[in-house]
Structure 1
Amino acid sequence: MKRCSSRLSLVCFSLVVLFSGIGNAADKSISTDVVVVGAGSAGLSAAVSAAYAGAKVIVLEKMPFAGGSSNFAEGLFAVKTDQQRRKAIGLTKEEAYWHAMDYHHYRNNAGLLAQTVANSTSIIEWLEKQGVGFEVVTMSPTEAPTWHLIKDWGTAHHGAALVQAMQAKAKELGVKIYFETPAKELIYNGGAVAGVKAVNAKGDHYTINAKAVVIATGGFNNSKEMVRKWTRFDADKVFPTVPINKTGDGINMALAAGADSEGWGLMLHPGTHGEGIKPLGPLYAMTWQPLLWVNKYGDRVVDENAVWAFTFAGNAIERQRDGFVWSIWDDETVRYMEEHGIDNGLGVLVPIGTKLTDLRAEIATAVAQKSSSIVVGDSIEELAQKMGVEPARLKENVDQYNHAKETGRDEKFYRKADTIVPVKTGKLYALKVFPYNFVSIGGVKTDLKMEVTDKNDKAIPGLYAAGADVGGLYGDTYATWTSGMMFQWAAQSGKIAGEQAAAYGKR
């Protein structure tokens, strides 16, 4: 190539890089027993269990790291574990199952839920053998003591600790993980799934021939298109908690193979954003506290104790006009949060009792940056004007709320009066609270062996799915009473899918 002139040097350099990349790209063909698409907790569990069964395993992960949303999770649901026994927790599997079935209104796959509850003890034991440690805790007063918090693994905490432990075990067992190598389509042979095609970040094309494929790509909550298509939610008003490229890749590959689907939804929770507001910072933590909530008109809309179950709170917020509520508090509440800390933790990422010593500073920063999500006033009237609501209407609702505290009876929403946090003292604050989602729920249908099934309920030969790519475990909402079930489900369904995929390859 001729030497570039200085004027065209940038363009010429770009062309050199482009053509160099094309020249270095390669077509590669690999054969293995099992391909796992996704290296989250479901995919790693599938890979490890398949390797234990004697299979050669390749894992494809489109991100440059393992774990996906599992890195941000904290604990697993389980019943009748040693951890519970040591704390004299007598909850039975029957109780957990029936409570969950009632919660899901029988709109879920009863057999899948029963298997998940039944195997919850053994999956904890299996993960312990892989180097994962647990302690059982309760996250809020409305939940059962089923949440098995993951202990540190090296320098990794909570979900990331499980991911690191499982990744180390996979490496020990000879599993090969290809990062930044997303699967693009399934390969078929005589009506059966027989591998995948993938492309890595360098442009190399892989044809990976396999006896079975496990899809475990973590769901679709980062895809506005899929949220719009498959759920009842407005994708522009429900925000993903972590943008980690969960775009339904595995689900879409399975649907293209003829898979049936069910149970589409999102796991909602409260949150906020705006100029000067930090993710998981003091103002974000305030969205999880049981304070006064009003809608865009200044009216109370729910017993605010719904916030103790984060999915309930998310649902209540999402159904409001324009998809938000205002959380309102006073200077006395700020003082309480500074001195005593929060009453409702954001899991253990921001634990109960965390003192919000920077709350006033963050409010001042957000106001100075003209954030539309936080306003401050010296009176109800000033606060209402800044919120854009009718002052008399807001005052009527604040007065009713405070009066319920004084009289011991909330005539509007029957909130327990002793839990009401009054709005009276000093400056007043209003913060916009939006619905966020941790992860999607629902996806392709499977049988109890995690074989993907078609619209005639027949297994698609060679195709398995696990974790958030699978539908049927829930009704329309994640149940916080059985806290940690999604994380446990990922590990358990992955383990089953890996074992079954390895067994299929030996037929």
Structure 2
Amino acid sequence: MSDETKDMSRRGFLGAGGAALLGGVVLGALPLEGKSLGEPTTAQLPKTWDETHDVVVVGTGFAGLSAAIEARLAGASVLVIEKMPVHGGNSIINGGDFAAPANSFQKAAGIQDSPDQMLKDMLKAGSNLNHLKLAKTVAEHANESLEWARTYVGAEFTRLNYHGGHSVKRSVQTVNQSGSELVNKLLAKAQELGVKVVTRTKLTRLLLGAGGRIVGVEVRQGHKWPDEASGTLAAIKARRAVVLASGGFSRDVALRQIHDPRLTPNFESTNHPGATGEALLAACRAGAMDVQMDWIQLGPWTSPDEPGFGHTPQVCERIVGYGLMVDPKTGKRFFKETGNRKERADAIIAIGHPVVIVGDSAAIGGQVVPKVLGKAMEVGAVRRFNTLDEVARAYDMPAGTFLEEVTRWNGFVEKKKDPDFDCKIFPDALPTAKAPFYAMRLWPRVHHTMGGLVIDDRAQVTGFDMKPMPGLYAAGEVTGGVHGAVRLGSVAMADCVVFGRIAGRNAGREKAWS
């Protein structure tokens, strides 16, 4: 084991344990004489309920809507609440890539893959901090859930893509290169089944009944984000269960800095503005255990030349393994282009300034959807050049060194082997030599919070007494443990749909408490 790997393992171990402890301290959820600090009691339950449903789902992304559909199919009446004025959360601005091993697109392309191989990739990226049962559940049920999304929900997927850290191409992309394709189809299916979906309804706390069972939620109806005090308080009974699918906390700078002080406001986020973690905190106040909160992922493929998630990731990720990434100050490569997200983000941050990735017309034309490229060029994040000398001048690179580096890279591409950084070079990759050339600057942004609520393989939340919390389930980015230290690109979609379905199914089958 290298010194770097040993250091990573040591920091990972300390980070994971520290996160669980720190999360408890900060969120007021450590046990105290058999109770959690700040835990609601039955005395705080309303005398009358404003609404009653079998299952209440919090969040309208992949996980929440998948849960709502499965809970309804299990025979439950279902309410889905969303604090924002529009549905979808991060899922609707997601890039639309769904990792699924042994999928039909791979088979058509002659790519050998298996759930075991995907699990190995997840564990490697996650530094083996993944909760094994959870990671295995995602790997084993990803393709089944992809097919459910295609055949039952009606979402269209059209092409196979690669993401850094995977051993093979296994990510299937939606027809519009956006998570909106699946989110909107999920919403339509849920409403077709009779699920009630309401926006501008913010969860304020979980309500506990006898025996610590979650029996409902307190919300602010008519909430006008970001006014925290807006809306009217209401109590909604959940006769069977509550499912939390509210996403992560990448936009809550104070909370993320508690767990990783480096993530100051200087680091922007790819997330939608409502990704602020209130539901996660509410669950911890009710006694739920959190885990690995200090593992926060930065996306290495975002551009400082456009805001938010932007269009650059859809171009950058398509050409890793087909083009080279360089430090513009030296004109040289500095890390493997196909490394996982944390590896690449850390390497770019270590450089200390934006880096540049370059692809020629063969790489771009063969891998990037023209519509996506057009949008990225329209906003100025991706630029086109007639010669490599023009690329060097545009980014103030030492031209001679840069051209030598391109020649060296092209030699690696021809041999399909990178002895410098062990980049994965694909069989159909060609030397970067065919004009025009395309280049974009890269600088990381906060993208995904791997930590969150502890769940079991039934998606039931675990309390600080180490037992499942009756009446409470969770799925998606609000949970922790699935991905360990690093989430592989496109596994979020699989995680959300797999565990969203599991959570909804089990919540819908719970015995009603009244």
Question: So what's the TM-score if we normalise by structure 2?
Answer: 0.72
Does 2:43 correspond to 1:51?
Answer: no
Cα separation, partners in 2 of 1:435 and 1:227, compared to 1, 3 Å: same
Cα separation, partners in 2 of 1:398 and 1:160, compared to 1, 3 Å: closer
Instruction: Point out the more displaced range, 42-51 or 87-96.
Output: 87-96
Q: CA deviation at 1:300?
A: 5.0
Cα separation, partners in 2 of 1:80 and 1:273, compared to 1, 3 Å: closer
SS of the residue corresponding to residue 484 of structure 2 reads coil
SS of the residue corresponding to residue 199 of structure 1 reads strand
Structure 1 residue identity aligned to 2:147 = E
Instruction: Spell out the pairing of 1:52-451 with structure 2 (5 A cutoff).
Output: 52-73=73-94, 74-127=96-149, 128-135=151-158, 137-139=160-162, 143-151=167-175, 158-190=178-210, 191-201=212-222, 203-211=231-239, 212-231=241-260, 233-263=262-292, 264-274=295-305, 279-280=310-311, 290-294=323-327, 298=330, 300=332, 302-303=334-335, 305-306=337-338, 312-321=343-352, 324-327=353-356, 336=360, 342=364, 354=373, 362=380, 398=402, 401=405, 404=408, 432-451=441-460
SS of the residue corresponding to residue 271 of structure 1 reads coil
Q: CA deviation at 1:397?
A: 6.0
Q: Percent identity?
A: 24
Q: Residue in 1 aligned with 2:53? A: 32
Q: CA deviation at 1:225?
A: 1.6
Which residue among 486, 493, 496 is the counterpart of 2:499? 493
Structure 1 residue identity aligned to 2:157 = F
Q: CA deviation at 1:310?
A: 5.2
The structure with the larger Rg is: 1
Cα separation, partners in 2 of 1:216 and 1:415, compared to 1, 3 Å: closer
In 1, Cα distance between equivalents of 2:419 and 2:363: 29
Structure 1 residue identity aligned to 2:460 = E
In 1, Cα distance between equivalents of 2:481 and 2:382: 46
Q: CA deviation at 1:72?
A: 2.2
In 2, Cα distance between equivalents of 1:189 and 1:277: 41
Q: Residue in 2 aligned with 1:8? A: none
In 2, Cα distance between equivalents of 1:122 and 1:378: 48
* Post-superposition CA distance 1:305-350 (Å, at most 9, x none): 347x5554323213444xx333287xxx7xx55xx5637967x696
In 2, Cα distance between equivalents of 1:407 and 1:349: 28
SS of the residue corresponding to residue 98 of structure 2 reads strand
Q: CA deviation at 1:479?
A: 2.1
In 2, Cα distance between equivalents of 1:472 and 1:133: 30
In 2, Cα distance between equivalents of 1:286 and 1:96: 19
Cα separation, partners in 2 of 1:315 and 1:306, compared to 1, 3 Å: farther
Instruction: Point out the more displaced range, 39-48 or 96-105.
Output: 96-105
- 8 Å CA contact 1:133, 1:150 repeated in 2: yes
Cα separation, partners in 2 of 1:436 and 1:342, compared to 1, 3 Å: farther
Structure 2 residue identity aligned to 1:208 = I
SS of the residue corresponding to residue 503 of structure 2 reads helix
Structure 2 residue identity aligned to 1:116 = V
SS of the residue corresponding to residue 342 of structure 1 reads helix
- 8 Å CA contact 1:240, 1:439 repeated in 2: no
- Pairwise CA RMSD: 4.3
In 1, Cα distance between equivalents of 2:162 and 2:509: 39
Structure 1 residue identity aligned to 2:243 = V
- 8 Å CA contact 1:64, 1:179 repeated in 2: yes
SS of the residue corresponding to residue 66 of structure 1 reads coil
SS of the residue corresponding to residue 303 of structure 1 reads coil
Q: Residue in 1 aligned with 2:33? A: none
SS of the residue corresponding to residue 201 of structure 2 reads coil
Structure 1 residue identity aligned to 2:344 = A
- 8 Å CA contact 2:163, 2:317 repeated in 1: no
In 1, Cα distance between equivalents of 2:382 and 2:493: 38
In 1, Cα distance between equivalents of 2:119 and 2:365: 29
SS of the residue corresponding to residue 455 of structure 1 reads coil
Instruction: Point out the more displaced range, 398-407 or 244-253.
Output: 398-407
Unmatched segments (≥5 aa) in structure 1: 1-26, 366-376, 388-393
